Amino acid sequence: MSSTAATAAGAEAGAQKSTHLTEASPLISTDELERNLGKYKILDATWVKLPMWAGRDAWKEFCESRIPGAFFFDIDEVADTRSEYPHMLPSEEQLAGFLTQHGIQTEDHIVCYDSHGVVTSPRVWWTLKVFGLPNVFVLDGGLKKWKAEGRRTESGDPPKTPSISEDPSVTSGPVKANLKVALQKEGVRSYEEIRALQQKLHSSGDSELKDHELIVDARPRGRFDGTLPEPREGIPSGHFAFSVNLPANEMCDVETGAFLSKEKIRKLAEEQGVDLDRRIICSCGSGITAATVFLALSLLGKTTNISLYDGAWTEWQMRQLKKK
């Protein structure tokens, strides 16, 4: 059974009624989520499998302290586990199975968060969006900000929610199914598409480059320019030809974990050569922080003609190494 560990009294909530359920912004504030806990399905999307987080266990941390009512979304398990590349997108059936198990339906309002701030939760936000779920948000500042503000958490076994039933005769117990999961293919780029793009770019003149998609790389500057190593053994650092660097680790406030203002994000994007008028492909090391940049650009109004290279730099380099 789940035991609630009230870590501190919840912060004073505002009296005004939330309007986020009808707003387009992909971010939700800690104030708003606390006022509307019962209206959202909440997913802890913390992922810690990089050397800088060595020794951490996301599931253990989830059981020790989480936002009340949250479920755990394992980025490595709700994925194509047959692939040799890390946490590639799951199948429609696999994702639907997870959502069904946790009583989540198509029109539910879903909030994703992570314990870092806004680092790994955008990957789950993007995954749900690219499979057609319309009402998905990211908690601005994540669990880091939530706890710093003294808001209530719980611990112990995760909550139990009635599963979804496809059986039309079910009238009690399991929730009657209202779930549609369908991959929006225009939101994802494959290795073959990136290879074709690179070939086109190499054969294009300077005046033609803007006619092609722009790869925006979310990795830290050192990994992009090749002066720092990649965290995965055997993968060289560097970047795609004709790509630009918009580091995801510079998108958030170091102290609070919350996203920078739109003005600061726009300024950084302009300084780094991100042309919002072009079709954009977000990439990174393995497809996680690419979603953070995807989220950041959507905050700037880039909600069409934008996609994400799922395999990212890791798949690209692994396939290049196989050719040698």
pLDDT at 225: 97
d(CA 113, CA 134): 17
What homologous superfamily is domain 185-323 in, according to CATH? Rhodanese-like domain (3.40.250.10)
- Of residues 260 and 204, more confidence is placed in 260
Q: How does pLDDT run across 270-309, given as a tens digit for each residue?
A: 999 999 999 999 999 999 999 999 999 999 999 999 999 9
Q: The domain at 2-176 falls in which architecture? A: 3-Layer(aba) Sandwich (3.40)
284 belongs to the catalytic site = yes
d(CA 36, CA 39): 5
pLDDT at 171: 42
pLDDT at 20: 38
Q: How does pLDDT run across 9-52, given as a tens digit for each residue?
A: 333 333 333 333 335 699 999 999 999 999 999 999 999 988 88
Is residue 292 within 8 A of residue 122, CB to CB? The reply is: yes
Maximum separation of any 2 CA atoms in the chain, in Å: 64
The residues spanned by each domain of the chain are 2-176, 185-323
User: Would you tell me how many other CB atoms lie within 10 Å of the CB of residue 229?
Assistant: 13
| Same fold flag, 2-176 and 185-323 | yes
| Helix %, strand %, coil % of the chain (to 5) | 35, 15, 50
The three-class DSSP label of residue 226 is coil
pTM over 0.85: yes
Q: How does pLDDT run across 223-252, given as a tens digit for each residue?
A: 999 999 999 999 999 999 999 999 999 999
pLDDT at 80: 96
User: Would you tell me how many other CB atoms lie within 10 Å of the CB of residue 10?
Assistant: 17
Q: Taking each helix axis from N to C terminus, what angle separates 262-271 and 289-299, rounded to the nearest 10 degrees?
A: 110
Q: How confident is the model at residue 177 (pLDDT cuts 50, 70, 90)?
A: low
**Amino acid, single-letter form, for residue 111:** V
